[in-house]
């Protein structure tokens, strides 16, 4: 099981703690420091089953200042999240061929079943 984790995010910390308490074997990916590749992010988006814009934190100042109101392709949105990883919703938990955005945190429990 993998968790895309931002230690500065309380929801991400809560999800990590919950998974550790459940005994999950985790690979922790600190995606802010170790940026994902375009292909990795596209694969994650497919696993979650969403459109790229649904992974964007549209209330982030960077989004509002640089991207809001623009007509962006899916590739442009993915590239924005690669350049500014803080734009990605978090945490993201991946187990095999399934993935969820851990908001609310209880969603991560679904992957343990």
Cα–Cα dist 2/57, whole Å: 21
Adjacency order of strands within the sheet including 27-29: 27-29, 2-4, 92-95, 98-101
Tell me how far apart the alpha carbons of residues 40 and 109 are, in angstroms, rounded to a whole number: 23
Q: Is 9 a catalytic residue?
A: yes
CA distance 55 to 2: 17
The closest alpha carbon to 28, from 50, 49, 13, belongs to 13
- Select which of 3, 4, 9, 99 is catalytic: 9
By annotation, the residues acting in catalysis are 9
């Amino acid at each position: 099981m993998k968790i895309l984790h931002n230690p500065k995010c309380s929801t991400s910390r809560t999800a990590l703690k919950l998974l550790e308490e459940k005994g999950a074997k985790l690979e922790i990916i600190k995606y802010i420091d170790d940026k994902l590749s375009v292909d990795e992010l596209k694969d994650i988006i497919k696993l979650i089953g969403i459109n790229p814009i649904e992974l964007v934190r549209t209330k982030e100042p960077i989004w509002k200042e640089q991207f809001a109101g623009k007509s962006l392709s899916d590739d442009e949105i993915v590239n924005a999240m690669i350049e500014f990883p803080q734009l990605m919703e978090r945490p993201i938990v991946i187990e095999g061929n399934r993935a969820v955005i851990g908001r609310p945190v209880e969603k991560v429990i679904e992957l343990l079943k």
